[in-house]
Amino acid sequence: MACHQMKDKRELIRVVKSPEGGVFIDPTGKKNGRGAYLCKDPACFARVRSSKLLNREFKTEIPAEIYEQLEEQYGGE
């Protein structure tokens, strides 16, 4: 999403906005809703987070927990 590189979906993290309006991480890639893909490059995620690209993409406020959960996906330890 941040770098616009085409990558295999297995190398991407899918974030979904459900029809009800909730935003969550979709590890299975199968949930209904509007999806955005983030690549697994931590530098990309840093850019997405700092520029709040997900907020813009989904036109909604993304809860801080979502960014925290995403950070874990990038191996935050």
Q: How far is the CB of 9 from Zn ion (least distance, A)?
A: 13
Taking residues 25 to 54 in sequence order and writing x for each that binds Zn ion by CB under 5 A, - otherwise, the string is --------------x-x--x----------
Q: Which is nearer to Zn ion, 44 or 70 (CB)?
A: 44
CA distance 15 to 2: 13
Q: Kindly report the CA angle at 43 between 30 and 72, in degrees rounded to 5?
A: 50
Is 12 a binding residue for Zn ion by CB under 5 A? The answer is no
Residues that bind Zn ion (CB under 5 A): 3, 39, 41, 44
